[in-house]
Amino acid sequence: MQALFQKLFTIPGSDTPPRYQGNKSDGNWTDGKLIGNDDSANYPVVGGIPLFLGESEKTDYPKSDSISGDNNITGEELIHSNWKIMRTDPDIDRLYNDWAQTILDTNGKILELTAGQGGGLAPLLLDYDADIQLLIHGVDFRILKGLKELIDSDGNWKSVGITQFDASRCPIKSDSFEAINSFIAISNMRRTGGVLSEIRRILRPGGRLFMLDFEIIPDSLEQLPDSVLKKMAEFDPDFDKNYKSRLTEAGFGIEYFSLTEDHPVQPRENCLADIAARHNVQLKMQAFRMEARKPINIDFDNHPFSADSIP
């Protein structure tokens, strides 16, 4: 793990910075473990990747999250092919160029949330600027290992870290990132409410969340049987709320929202659509792009230049 990101980590659910015990190379963590103050917390670092998911949490993610190939291509080869497509396909460049540039213009640390085997927007961001400070997050260790090998093999991307954690319990200090990107990630997450408040916490004041994601077209819910609605609520209790409301409730200011026709949802791309499809129901969803900002809250009463402080 790049020294650049090491100082951002905390023991999950606390503000405690972990102690690293293990090997290092050029100051970067390689293989070892992260422990808390009372030695009760103990998280492995394997091949430079800090792993914050406990054994019980790992079973909590849908099967579709695991790395997968088919008879012709291994999961690892698929990661390489996905990255190549993202970096060379002119249609991808046309669709996402502006968006990637806006993220790069934030000029700070960037978190790619649940990059998956597609890498999210990471391949494009690194293609446009090899020097960005990018932390890539995920849950499946084989995907993360594959991404790490790919990144190390390039050799030009020196400020990229990789880590594994549950996004509803980020092991990251508050106010750490200038930009967090969700490329079809948040809409696939369990416990979305907890994820949004964690995202807000770890963004710097004034920092922005960027999303390309899916939400349900409300009319289509009326056609779903109760049994399917129940399954969806088990996955995400807020599944019937749109993301503008969810983010506003989580304390973000919405700065940009647009529906996009370019990205029709496939059941395999969205867990809720997948749940519905398994009950032979087609859930209608729409893709959207959104930018939401964590407000800068100035504590005027205790500000050094408050009226009271003027003699």
Nearer to ligand SAM, 12 or 207 (CB): 12
Query: Do 69 and 75 contact (CB within 8 A), yes or no?
Result: yes
Binding interface with ligand SAM (CB under 6 A): 61, 65, 114-120, 139, 166-168, 183-185, 188-191, 195
Q: Min. distance of Cβ 77 from ligand SAM in angstroms?
A: 15
Nearer to ligand SAM, 61 or 96 (CB): 61
Nearer to ligand SAM, 178 or 269 (CB): 269
Nearer to ligand SAM, 3 or 233 (CB): 233
What dihedral do alpha carbons 89, 214, 144, 68 form, nearest 10°?
-80
DSSP state of 267: G
CA triplet 55, 58, 60: central angle to 5 degrees?
Answer: 125
Nearer to ligand SAM, 32 or 267 (CB): 267
Q: Min. distance of Cβ 160 from ligand SAM in angstroms?
A: 16
What Rg, from alpha-carbon coordinates, does the chain have?
20
Other beta carbons less than 10 A from residue 282's beta carbon: 13
Q: Min. distance of Cβ 148 from ligand SAM in angstroms?
A: 16
Query: How many angstroms separate the Cα of 275 from the Cα of each of 177, 230, 283?
Result: 33, 10, 9
Nearer to ligand SAM, 142 or 190 (CB): 190
Query: Do 78 and 69 contact (CB within 8 A), yes or no?
Result: yes
Q: Min. distance of Cβ 82 from ligand SAM in angstroms?
A: 7
Query: Do 237 and 193 contact (CB within 8 A), yes or no?
Result: yes
**Tokens standing for 229?**
């609605």
Q: Min. distance of Cβ 189 from ligand SAM in angstroms?
A: 4
**Tokens standing for 132?**
């960005």
Q: Min. distance of Cβ 141 from ligand SAM in angstroms?
A: 12
Per-residue burial over 223-257, b if 16 or more Cβ lie within 10 Å, else e, is ebeeebeebbeebbeebebbbeebbeebebeeeee
Q: Min. distance of Cβ 56 from ligand SAM in angstroms?
A: 14
Nearer to ligand SAM, 185 or 247 (CB): 185
Q: How many residues does the chain have?
A: 311
